[in-house]
Structure 1
Amino acid sequence: MAPSSQASRAVPNRAVPNLAFRRLRGPRSPGEFAASVRKAAREIGEQVSCDARYIGRVEAGEIRCPNYAYERVFLHMFPGLTLADLGFAAREQVRGGGRGRPPEPFGPRETRELFDSDSNSHSDIDEESDVLRRAFMTGGSATVAAASLGLGPGPGRVPAQRRVGETEVNAVEDAVRRIRLLDDRHGADGLYRRAAQPLRAAYALLDASTAARRSTADRLHAGAGELAISVGWLAHDSGRFDDARSHYAEALATARVGGDPALEAHAFCNTSFLARDAGRHREAVRSAQAGQRAARHVASPRLLSLLSLREAGGWAGLGDRTGCEKSLARAYAYFDRGPADTDPEWMSFFGEPELEALQAQCWAALGEWPRAARHARRAATLQDSRFTRNLALYRAELAADLARAGAPEEAAEAGHQVLDLAEVQSSRIQSILSDTARVLLPRRRTGAVGTFLERHQESLRRA
């Protein structure tokens, strides 16, 4: 009998169970082990959304090499062991693949590796788009996916029924994760239109497919809805508010059809955020309140905290200080309950930095600039540098708050720090920075301010 490595090369699509990892789990259930992984991540300042399904995929051999965040967590949990000891393949082996070998969906192509080279970020995003597209072409629903992407015989040839299994559902779920990771690093501007391709494929699967099991169908609905929200966010962050509104509404409809309160709460959360940015503050309040009603079925205090912050932002936009303060107090009370195993995976970004940043936005909307600046500074200080996009956002908001609080030189310094993160492409961030530049213009003869204004103008010319 051939060794497992030879068997893997002979049959590329056959996953080899990771028995070493299974032994390390011991008598703990996958859910219990996932909880210990999340705890270990918090101990070293990592953020991973590990659940029983992820552990199952590792043990089944579907994830041949973990991404860098998981690698650090696993090596922290099992000091002295290597990735090989944990049953994983070497990263270079996973990435190599060999000429002619079909690309594997997501597991072997770690998202963060795309940015380790000196290549241009636009090329990285183009490559990532191709990876996302190919993921939907590797399973049994290739005809559906190809037709939805304009690569097959056309929409009229999509079969009325197709069987959906783990391959297709995993591809949808992994597309969501990869889009979020790319947004964390690069921002939305270069990614939005490319990310629409897997979204169309996901909804083609929903429209033209049947699932062998109810759990598979539920995961497909949830995955498609989360993908719609992710693409909606890319539209939102790049200033395409009408597109974002449409995608969020699509996700909400998917949640209602699938009876998924977690997805419904997420859709309302983003709808509230969008309404606030569009100046529809009453809608922002109502959407956040609707999201809280849905979230009560999820048992996640952190989700309720975020939705309370969305409501606070709406009240602040309406100039209702009392409503804002009540919502903020509720948000802090929920946040202080801590994380839970039932926290949705997409909330990995929501920690103390985001809590501070959203509170800063509330005080800014109420015109209390020094108070807003204090919270924005704390958000920027606490934010992990790996989340480049959010770090740039927090610093941009800090610059805006300082400029209006009468601290132009500090504002200019914060603006310089935003410009240092040139790889982030976000219309939202550029808009905040341009607004700050206009506020600082009367102080342009101040050395630090003048230097920032010149550098900002140069960045606009290069854009």
Structure 2
Amino acid sequence: MQGNASLNSAMREAGFKQGESAEAVNEYLRLHGYDGTVSDRTVRNWLTGKTHWPHPRQREALEAVFGCTAEALGFSPPTAGPPDSEPESPVRRRNFLTATTGTAAAVVVTPIVDSRPTSVGTSDVIRLRSGLDALMALDAARGGHEGLERAALAGADEALEKVGLAASQRIRQRLFSVAANYIATAAWAAIDGHQLDRAQTRLDRALYLAGMAKDPVAQMRVWNSYAMLARQRDQHTEAVDAGYAAQATVIARRDPFYGSLAHARTAVAHANVGDRQAAIRSLGYAHEALEKAPPDEPRPSWVSFYGVAELTAIKAIVWGRIGDAARSEAASHQALSAIPRHFRRNRALATTRLALAQVHQREVEQATTAAASVFELMSGNPIPGRLRSLLGDFYRDLITLVPDARVAQEWGDRYRSEWSRA
């Protein structure tokens, strides 16, 4: 009997096991006045293909939970006989799905005439999580900014407001996890915007909520950001400690993908301390771990930036910090050939590091051309504070290393206004 690969894929993407899928479907059914009778066995029958066309109400619930038609979930109607489905209410389904406008996720719940208080279940968690995906897509294109930070904090507030109405302790923990990730997103926006005190406050709160959620992925995310924040504050020993803390999380020990990111972040910290051997060793660990990571494993959107291309960009940072400009330049070129186009801010950062590597080799024309292209990459949006700071490092090194080069002064005169764009 052929299994239902489409449903299995949808469940993996949502992070659901059989019991959690059953819970989500039952939540929808109860929300609309029906008994929630879907069990683990029911879901298993769907996955194995034993049930190829679920009951009409179950199909409606499945479509609402996963946001696509029953056919797209791998089910097929009987080829003969009268239709057994009742017309689907488009209003009901729309109200169950996520509504995302601008940068904030709006959760809309169908009103029910009932004297009992509305409980919060899996469907609410799904809607809140989808808002995180919208924010991370905005970050990839534009970078961190105050609007993104405010939207993330609003998402966290909404998740925390629902904790008291959670249908179970499991739902409470999931809501804490969602809130932790929203606040970690706000912290990241502050880091990218170079608002370091705000970022510290946000990370402290996110780590507390991740602990309440017992969510090792969120904990790893926060420690990764702590390492980046410490780097911006020139607290390089603290950045090494944060890298080690990220490595010690359960998810980094269990999943080589996260382990690779933790080792890569530690490598940057070692390079900033000046420990060349430790930095190179950590890069080696990061590379080995990434090779072991399953490529198609579903992971949250905040970590979608990481992979071979980003690890190569991190290698460029490490080589540059330990004084090997030629290797840094080579790694930067390699990273830029692989970083996806929609990661505009990441491409702009890698391009600036390329310019830094070139100016350290006195390749002035190439360096200024590369640095100038950063403004084209970020055209139409303010320059995030972290990127502005890196461009400042480039200009400082440019006028220090080649003070008599006419092109150095021309670059500063031409791009000073764009560089300070906020």
Do they superpose with TM above 0.5? yes
Q: 1:223 to 1:462 in 2, by over 3 A?
A: closer
> Distance between the aligned counterparts of 2:293 and 2:154, measured in 1?
37
| Superposition TM-score, scaled by structure 2 size | 0.73
Task: State the secondary structure of the residue aligned to 2:294.
Answer: coil
The answer (yes or no) to whether the contact 1:261–1:298 under 8 Å persists in 2 is no
Q: How many residues align?
A: 353
Matches within 5 A, 1:144-293: 163-195=119-151, 196-206=153-163, 209-293=164-248
The residue that corresponds to 1:60 in the other structure is 63
> Distance between the aligned counterparts of 1:50 and 1:211, measured in 2?
19
Structure 1: which 5+ residue stretches go unaligned? 1-24, 36-48, 67-73, 75-93, 110-126, 142-160
Q: Which of 357, 375, 379 pairs up with 2:331? A: 375
The residue that corresponds to 1:438 in the other structure is 396
2:266 equivalent to 1:311 = yes
Task: State the secondary structure of the residue aligned to 2:189.
Answer: helix
The residue that corresponds to 2:33 in the other structure is none
TM-aligned CA deviation for residue 305 of structure 1: 0.4
Structure 2: which 5+ residue stretches go unaligned? 26-60, 73-89, 112-116
The answer (yes or no) to whether the contact 2:219–2:249 under 8 Å persists in 1 is yes
The answer (yes or no) to whether the contact 2:247–2:262 under 8 Å persists in 1 is yes
Task: State the secondary structure of the residue aligned to 1:263.
Answer: helix
User: CA offsets, 1:343-382, max 9 Å, x none?
Assistant: 6323211111110111111122222222222212211221
* Runs of 4+ with >4 A deviation: 32-35, 49-59, 62-66, 101-109, 340-343, 442-451, 460-463
The answer (yes or no) to whether the contact 2:210–2:219 under 8 Å persists in 1 is yes
TM-aligned CA deviation for residue 230 of structure 1: 0.9
TM-aligned CA deviation for residue 139 of structure 1: 3.4
The answer (yes or no) to whether the contact 2:335–2:350 under 8 Å persists in 1 is yes
Counterpart AA for 2:416:
Q
The residue that corresponds to 2:279 in the other structure is 324
Structure 1 stretch displaced more, 300-309 or 416-425: 416-425
> Distance between the aligned counterparts of 1:382 and 1:288, measured in 2?
25
Q: Which of 388, 392, 396 pairs up with 2:344? A: 388
The residue that corresponds to 1:337 in the other structure is 292
> Distance between the aligned counterparts of 1:387 and 1:319, measured in 2?
30
Counterpart AA for 2:102:
E
Task: State the secondary structure of the residue aligned to 2:292.
Answer: coil
Matches within 5 A, 1:22-33: 27-28=4-5, 30-32=7-9
The answer (yes or no) to whether the contact 2:135–2:148 under 8 Å persists in 1 is no
Task: State the secondary structure of the residue aligned to 1:268.
Answer: helix
Q: Which of 406, 416, 421 pairs up with 1:457? A: 416
The residue that corresponds to 1:139 in the other structure is 109
User: CA offsets, 1:440-462, max 9 Å, x none?
Assistant: 34758867656543431231476
Counterpart AA for 2:197:
D
Q: 1:50 to 1:337 in 2, by over 3 A?
A: farther
Q: 1:229 to 1:243 in 2, by over 3 A?
A: same
The residue that corresponds to 1:128 in the other structure is 102
TM-aligned CA deviation for residue 64 of structure 1: 5.0
Q: 1:105 to 1:415 in 2, by over 3 A?
A: farther
> Distance between the aligned counterparts of 2:363 and 2:253, measured in 1?
43
Q: CA RMSD in A?
A: 3.5
Q: Percent identity?
A: 24
Q: 1:168 to 1:50 in 2, by over 3 A?
A: closer
The residue that corresponds to 1:402 in the other structure is 358
Structure 1 stretch displaced more, 247-256 or 328-337: 247-256
> Distance between the aligned counterparts of 2:143 and 2:96, measured in 1?
23
TM-aligned CA deviation for residue 63 of structure 1: 5.8
> Distance between the aligned counterparts of 2:285 and 2:183, measured in 1?
29
Q: 1:351 to 1:105 in 2, by over 3 A?
A: farther
TM-aligned CA deviation for residue 28 of structure 1: 3.2
Structure 1 stretch displaced more, 366-375 or 319-328: 366-375
The residue that corresponds to 1:17 in the other structure is none
